[in-house]
A and B are shown apart, each in its own frame.
Chain A
Amino acid sequence: MSLYLLALLAAAVSGVPGLFLRRRGGEVATGLLGLAALLGLTASFRVLAGGSGGTLALRTAALGAPGLLVFDPLAAFFAIPVLVLAFCGSLYGLGYWESRRGNTPALRLVFGWLTASLVMLVAASHALTFLLAWEGMAIAAFLLVMAEDREAETRRAGWIYLVATHTGTLILIAAFALLARTTGQYGFTALPAGLAASRGGTILFVLFLLGFGFKAGILPLHFWLPPAHAAAPSHVSALMSGVLLKMGILGIARLLSWVPDPPLWWGGTLVALGVLSGLLGVAFALGQHDLKRLLAYHSIENIGIILLGLGLGTLGKSQGNPVLQTLGYAGALLHVVNHSLFKGLLFLSAGSVLHATGTRDLERLGGLGQRMPWTAAAFLAGSWAICGLPPLNGFVSEWLIYVGAFRGLGLGRQAWPVVILLSLALIGALALACFAKAFGAVFLGLPRTEAGARAQEAPRVMLLPMGLLALACLAIGVAPLFLMPALGRVVDTLGPAGGSGLPSLPGLGAISGMALALGLLALLLWRWLRPGSREDGLPTWDCGYATPDARMQYTASSFADGLVRGLRWALWPVVHRPKVSGWFPRPARYEGHVPDPVLDRAAAPGLRFGVRGAALLRVAQGGALPVYLLYVLLTLLVLLVWMVA
């Protein structure tokens, strides 16, 4: 526990020395975050290896319950991605942000706060500490999103985020108050059996799902996510997408851990939301031109996959099937860590691209593979992992969910295993298409702009964290067997199911063997097929033209056009397509984009309507002080009369 608390402290103060130091403040902050990561990871590994975590408690039950922070296996598990990504992000920020102008010390300070809030949040075991850390996280993230508030787009993203997160917090406050009324205390404890199926249990579930759904970016509540992730500095986007969203998942997991007997429809709801988020997330990602928005939609997709796992586990829990429960929860929780690793990697490499070329627009990028080989390799590794391909880590967690769903098939005539299997497969295929588009448009072909042609490889301080994350992805993908005892302990906190059976799962050793074989094969192929010399000067895209140029290659839009058009019924793309006619048509301009269904079609128009309605209230704002005082007097009078009468 003391290690954990020291890590919390080190993270919280990491930006403070930078306020006073004239230079090297960033290095000090990164060093402190590295120290925090070292301490916190030691504490986490100790707990995950079976040690006891410890509790921070008040002497008296002054706040309704004594325990404030409990470092249990679930907390230890979620602390890992927080600390790893915070350290990597801070290191990356040294190269990425320090060279830009702007409020660097403030950014570092708030980055430390965000890390500290996250570290505190994972172990919170009291409604008060939970909400405190939750708000600290939300506000610190808001400040970080607003880092480049000179741009109107950033300000808009920041405000949308703030409104969404506070709506979620309000719902959570109501949910915790209701929970405290049911259990009689504000500490986190197991709920009595039978409560979940009652009406109060239903209200609790819906409120928690809404509150945590806003943070996790579950589909109808995801609308703050793409603009905020696109606007934030890239290392912040990595932390937000990798860890911040997962706190919503942590909340849902905590809720599931309190409930001994979830009704069947809880799992069904989670599966349905997972299908919705997963499929639509990846479909909307296909239609994006902005690299970071594309990655943000993929975060929604991966939250969908995690929800599928959680839903599967919950279905198993309510049917009393420990195998399904273990496999579903293990897949979901492992995917939480995996997603933060590879999404962090992807956002950091996208940041390098932005750093080198100054644009996130896929239509203006291209040909960076030759100029930035390491960044390209990192992005490829991340794409590989996110598509769930072996031998990287994305495969392992999705495989656990697949195995669970296949086991579910044997349980009789139920629809949900089929739904889970089909949507997982579809998500994987669409993700592959989307990353083929993203990688191809950014790194292959010829550069489309002058800035792209002059792009240079990112500095070593930015490549190092990317390498660390890629190595972590590879390690989990190649040797999943070593993780299973720890993962089993985490799964056990979600309900007694015998997570210790996880290591004996067949096929885990085969994954390692297959991964090694695949790696060897890839290495051999690379040796054989490597071009002998690049002196022939031929561009990648030739297409049989005599003088090919960059405009002849596939653009990101044209690559994805078939799929976007096929998914027209779901995406509603807006296309401006001029009619080309005659023998000598005039120059024409083609344009298309995919607006977000919730933000651009529902929330923003609704908000505009609300603002117009609120303008009617301006009559009351006369500007004269006596009139305002009159309002006070009238209120006072009415209250007095109402109280007395």
Chain B
Amino acid sequence: MLPDLLIALTMLSNFSLVATSRVSKAIQFAVLQGVLLGLMPLAMGLGRHFHIVLLAVAAVTVKGWLIPFLFRRALKQVHIQREVDPYIGYTVSLMLCALGTGLSLLLAHNLPLKPGTEYVLMVPASLATLFTGFLLLVSRRKALTQVVGYLVLENGIYLFGLLLVEDMPALVEAGILLDLFVGIFVMGIVINHIRVAFDSTDTRHLAELKD
């Protein structure tokens, strides 16, 4: 019951993510999503495994505290509040996101699951989150919003990984978190460097770097 609620909230936060134009709102939604997913293993009743509890605590700490902290610092440095003039408008994004969610439900319907899995919503939700992350990456212009896109993408992968959390060694899970942390860290540096080099965080300028 509780996991299904969390998954539903995750999918709802996907829609809010693509529909918002405020950068800080998008960050908040991404963080919320991360914390929700961080709590998922506990909600799934896996609290008896020590390493899974550890994993959940780590996920919540990184996604709920460290990443927002890094984002706030980056926001302070680059002074932007709104994603103006995205490649794909908000209404269209919302529709595409809905389309992606529908498609993932359809796809997940055909994907064979391990027999006896109770969380049938997990796969479509993870696919939908993946699509949302990609949509954000493709349609947004500011480097910061793109980082949010990466974050959502990682959330989708994490959700998919939860399906196997009992079988998968904790090492792999920790690897995902570390990956994420490094990604954010590097992007933070990159954003700063784009700003210094081009006096803006608009990723359009990166096109000048092609040979």
Q: List residues of A whose CB falls within 8 A of some B CB.
A: 621-627, 629-630, 632-633, 636, 640-641, 644-645
Contacts and interface: CB of A to CB of B under 8 A. Distances in A.
B138 A626 contact: yes
Interface in B125-173: 127, 130-131, 134, 137-141, 146
Given A641-B107, A644-B107, A626 B87 contact: yes
Contact of A623 (B110, B111, B208): B208
A621 B210 contact: yes
B207 interface: yes
A624 B207 contact: yes
Given A626-B87, A632-B134, 16 more contacts: A622-B207, A623-B206, A623-B208, A624-B203, A624-B204, A625-B146, A625-B203, A626-B203, A630-B138, A633-B131, A633-B138, A636-B134, A640-B107, A641-B107, A644-B110, A645-B110
Contacts of B131: 633
Nearest to B209: A623
A247 to B, nearest CB: 37
5 contacts: A623-B210, A626-B87, A626-B139, A626-B141, A640-B107
Nearest to B88: A626
Nearest to B206: A625
Contacts of A644: 107, 110-111
Interface in B93-119: 107, 110-111
Contacts of A629: 134, 137-138
B167 to A, nearest CB: 21
B191 to A, nearest CB: 13
A46 B111 CA distance: 63
Contacts of A624: 203-204, 206-207
A624 B207 CA distance: 5
Interface on chain B toward A: helix, strand, loop, or mixed SS? helix
Contacts of B139: 626
A621 B146 CA distance: 20
Nearest to B130: A636
A621 B204 CA distance: 14
A501 to B, nearest CB: 63
Nearest to A626: B138
Contacts of B107: 640-641, 644
A645 B111 CA distance: 10
Contacts of A636: 130, 134
A623 B203 contact: no
Interface centre among B130, B131, B207 (most CB of A within 10 A): B207
A363 B146 CA distance: 64
Nearest to B210: A623
Nearest to A640: B107
B124 to A, nearest CB: 12
B190 to A, nearest CB: 11
B145 to A, nearest CB: 11
Contacts of B146: 625
Interface string B167-211: 000000000000000000000000000000000000110111110
A644 to B, nearest CB: 4
Interface centre among A626, A630, A640 (most CB of B within 10 A): A626
A641 B107 CA distance: 7
Contacts of B127: 640
A640 B141 CA distance: 27
A508 B209 CA distance: 71
Contacts of A627: 138
Closest 4 CB pairs of A and B: A623-B207, A623-B210, A644-B110, A633-B134
A629 B209 CA distance: 17
Contacts of B209: 623
A623 B209 CA distance: 7
Contacts of A630: 138
Contacts of B137: 626, 629
Contacts of A633: 131, 134, 138
A433 to B, nearest CB: 50
A96 to B, nearest CB: 39
A474 to B, nearest CB: 57
A644 B108 CA distance: 9
Nearest to A621: B210
A52 to B, nearest CB: 46
Nearest to B110: A644
Contacts of A645: 110
Contacts of B208: 623
A283 B203 CA distance: 60
A622 B138 CA distance: 14
A630 B149 CA distance: 13
B172 to A, nearest CB: 21
B84 to A, nearest CB: 16
B1 to A, nearest CB: 29
A630 B210 CA distance: 17
Contacts of B210: 621-623
A249 B141 CA distance: 58
B132 to A, nearest CB: 11
Contacts of B204: 624
B98 to A, nearest CB: 16
Contacts of B141: 626
Nearest to B150: A629
A627 B204 CA distance: 11
Contacts of A622: 207, 210
A632 to B, nearest CB: 7
Contacts of B110: 644-645
A640 B131 CA distance: 12
Contacts of B134: 629, 632-633, 636
A645 B107 CA distance: 9
Contacts of A621: 210
A626 B208 CA distance: 14
Nearest to B149: A629
A621 to B, nearest CB: 6
Contacts of A640: 107, 127
B114 to A, nearest CB: 17
A441 B204 CA distance: 63
A645 B106 CA distance: 11
A623 B110 CA distance: 36
B16 to A, nearest CB: 21
Nearest to B131: A633
A553 B23 CA distance: 84
A469 B62 CA distance: 68
A639 to B, nearest CB: 11
A359 B74 CA distance: 61
A139 B209 CA distance: 31
B48 to A, nearest CB: 34
A635 to B, nearest CB: 11
A626 to B, nearest CB: 5
A622 B111 CA distance: 35
A643 B110 CA distance: 10
Nearest to A633: B134
A627 B141 CA distance: 11
Interface string B44-68: 0000000000000000000000000
A625 to B, nearest CB: 5
Nearest to B112: A644
Nearest to A630: B138
Nearest to A632: B134
Contacts of B111: 644
A625 B141 CA distance: 9
A431 to B, nearest CB: 48
A90 B161 CA distance: 55
A623 B203 CA distance: 10
A620 to B, nearest CB: 11
A526 B137 CA distance: 85
